[in-house]
Amino acid sequence: MNLSRRTVLGATLGVAAVAATTACSAKPGGGGGGAAPAADEIKLGLNYELSGDVATYGQASAVGIKMAIEELNAKDGVGGKKIKLVEYDNKSDAAEATTLANKLMSQDKVLACMGPATSGGFKATIPVANKNKIPVVSGSATADDVTWDGKSVQEYAFRICFNDSFQGTVMAKFAAENLKGKTAVIIKDNSNDYSKGLATAFTEEFGKLGGSIAGEEAFVAGDTDFNTILTRIKGQTFDVIYLPGYYSEAGLIIKQARDLGITAPVLGGDGFDSPKLEELGGAAALNDVYFTNHYSSIDKDPKVVEFIEAFKKANNEEPNAFHALGYDLGHFVADAVSRASELTGEAVQKAMAETKGFVGVTGTFDVDEHHNPVKSIVVIGLKDGKQATSEKVG
């Protein structure tokens, strides 16, 4: 029963997607990837991980982008022109992403490219963008050095998500100000740059705010027994635990900590955002757990409520952060195109860099001189494993 319903749903979705694509390409003058773009449509490239290791991220982003573009096309397009998406699958492979970026820019003559979803893949397309003077934008590449390496900015690369170290900084603020924490213990995944980056940023900011780090423990992805390090922690005095890591270990750590009688709040990053967290940790253990995220599905902001409604209607599921980021990305690019003085990569790049007060589902933001958005971050609080509170911080 369940299975058949899902299959039917999948088939309907597939048909809908095909219909949408053909509807776009059936427009007069929309045929083929010719040398010059047709006068009455705007071509945008999609370079996503539709299969491979991180396909869930790429697929979700693409679904969000298409939803945004369909919305725009249903109205009036951008400046009276319909948007046409040229979509390719980079198979979660950085080299493939580079090839596809080249193809999109030189053969398909797109005005801007969206994706890939992960930092590694996205970085691989930036040199191509700079060479062709076509902007590339990612909705979810959060590594610190994507658009700005500390010395120079990648001229044609933009992103609309906050970076990793910002999550650590915000969580430190939240711990010190909202939770009134004075001392913290850090448990980090030593085999993961994301986890280490968040921990460093948290330590710095927490120190600036007058807090101190009572201890630091480390684990390696794939571990299952954390009782020993948790027993060590239990012997120390502290107010909060900062645990930047992915749900697969975080769920177990929280469960084992609660079992050992550690009741302090546990704070984490967007790696907690998965239904698996509740499954592995158990609903009873997931109280007083907070994590930073791009967006929260319980946000009462009218823009967010409207998006969730529309998304559920179109896709029959709750949107996750990648859907929301993809949706914002589609609107962000269209917005820049509509403000561009002419339809060239240079003009769109200029418009993107000048973005002020863009209103999206994942927050309102300006683009700063490093091509990062200046946006607030959502801190989600869990009660019995369910999202119970969400606060915008930063």
Partner 1 sequence: MTEFLQQVINSLSLGSIYALIALGYTMVYGIIKLINFAHGEVYMVGAYVGYASMSFLKLGFFESLILAMIVCTVLGVVIERVAYRPLRNSTRIAALITAIGVSLLLQYTMMFFVGPDPRAYPPMPSFMNGSIDVGGVIIKNQQILIIGVSVFLMIVLQFIVKKTKMGKAMRAVSQDPDAARLMGISVDRTISFTFAIGSALAGAAGVLVGVYYNSIKPLMGIAVGLKAFIAAVFGGIGIIPGALIGGYVIGGSETLVSSLGYSMFKDGVVFAILILILIVKPAGLLGKNRKEKV
229 near partner 1, rule: CB under 8 A: yes
Q: Write down the least CB distance from residue 273 to partner 1, Å.
A: 15
Segment near partner 1 (CB under 8 A), from 206-214, 216-224, 294-302, 328-336?
A: 216-224
Which listed residue (51, 282, 315, 374) binds partner 1 by CB under 8 A?
282
Is the alpha carbon torsion for 332, 135, 124, 365 positive or negative?
A: negative
145 φ, ψ to 5°?
-95, 20
C-beta separation of 254 from 226 below 8 A? no
User: Which of these ranges, 29-37, 205-213, 246-254, 345-353, lies near partner 1 under the rule CB under 8 A?
Assistant: 246-254
d(CA 93, CA 49): 8
166/219 with CB nearer partner 1: 219
Per CB under 8 A, the list member of 205, 217, 328, 335 interacting with partner 1 is 217
B/e letters for 35-70, b = 16+ CB within 10 Å, e = fewer, are eebbeebbbbbbbbbbeeebbebbbbbbbbbbbbbb
| Nearest CB to partner 1, comparing residues 249 and 328 | 249
Please name every residue paired with 14 in a beta bridge, in sequence order, or none if there are none.
none
For 267, the token pair is 């704070």
# residues near partner 1 by CB under 8 A: 26
Q: How many residues does the chain have?
A: 394
* Strand, coil or helix: 157: strand
Determine, following the binding rule CB under 8 A, whether residue 273 of this chain makes contact with partner 1: no
> CA 202 to CA 182: how far, in whole Å?
13
Beta bridge partners of 1: none
The binder of partner 1 chosen from 7, 106, 107, 190 (CB under 8 A): 190
The pair of structure tokens assigned to 71 is 């919305």
Q: Which residue's CB is nearer to partner 1, number 276 or number 370? A: 276
CB 153 within 8 A of CB 170: no
Does 237 interact with partner 1 (rule: CB under 8 A)? no
Which range of residues in 58-66, 176-184, 231-239, 319-327 is near partner 1 by CB under 8 A? 231-239
Binder of partner 1 out of 276, 303, 339, 350 (CB under 8 A) = 276
Please identify which residue in 231, 263, 316, 344 interacts with partner 1, judged by CB under 8 A: 231
Q: Does 95 bind partner 1 (CB under 8 A)?
A: no
Choosing from 54, 179, 209, 218, the residue that interacts with partner 1 (CB under 8 A) is 218
In the list 107, 227, 263, 389, the residue contacting partner 1 (rule: CB under 8 A) is 227
Question: Residue 261 interacts with partner 1 (CB under 8 A)?
Answer: yes
Q: How far is residue 34's CA from residue 17's CA, in Å, rounded to a whole number?
A: 23
Q: Does 266 bind partner 1 (CB under 8 A)?
A: no
Q: By CB under 8 A, is residue 263 in contact with partner 1?
A: no
The CB-of-258 to partner 1 minimum distance in angstroms stands at 11
Q: Which residue has the tokens 């490219």?
A: 113
Stretch that binds partner 1, among 92-100, 170-178, 227-235, 297-305 (CB under 8 A): 227-235
For residue 359, what are the β-bridge partners? Answer: 364
Strand intervals (E) in the chain: 41-48, 82-89, 112-114, 136-138, 157-159, 183-189, 212-219, 240-242, 266-268, 289-293, 358-360, 363-367, 373-374, 377-383, 386-393
Interaction of residue 319 with partner 1, rule CB under 8 A? no
Which lies closer to partner 1 via its Cβ, residue 248 or residue 376?
A: 248
| Structural contact between residues 48 and 87, judged by C-beta atoms closer than 8 angstroms | yes
**Does 384 contact partner 1 by CB under 8 A?**
no
Task: Give the footprint of partner 1 on this chain (CB under 8 A).
Answer: 190, 217-220, 222, 224-225, 227-229, 231-232, 234-235, 248, 251-252, 255, 259-261, 276, 279-280, 282
